[in-house]
Amino acid sequence: MDLSNLQWRKSSFSSPNGGDCVEVAELDGATHRPEHKREATHVVRDSKDPLGPVLYFSSPGWRAFVNGVKTSAFDR
Residue 7: what pLDDT?
92
Q: How far apart are CA 10 and CA 47, in angstroms?
A: 8
pLDDT of residue 27: 87
CA 12 to chain centroid, in Å, comes to: 15
- CA angle, corner 67, sides to 61 and 76, nearest 5? 105
Domain that holds residue 8: 1-76
Scanning the chain, the segments in alpha helix (DSSP H) are: 59-70
pLDDT for 25 equals 94
Q: φ and ψ at 55, to 5 degrees?
A: -105, 135
Mean pLDDT of 43-64: 91
Number of domains in the chain: 1
How confident is residue 74, by pLDDT bands cut at 50, 70 and 90? very high
- The pLDDT tens digits for 4-42 are 889 999 887 777 666 678 899 998 765 666 666 778 889
Question: Model's pTM, two decimal places?
Answer: 0.77
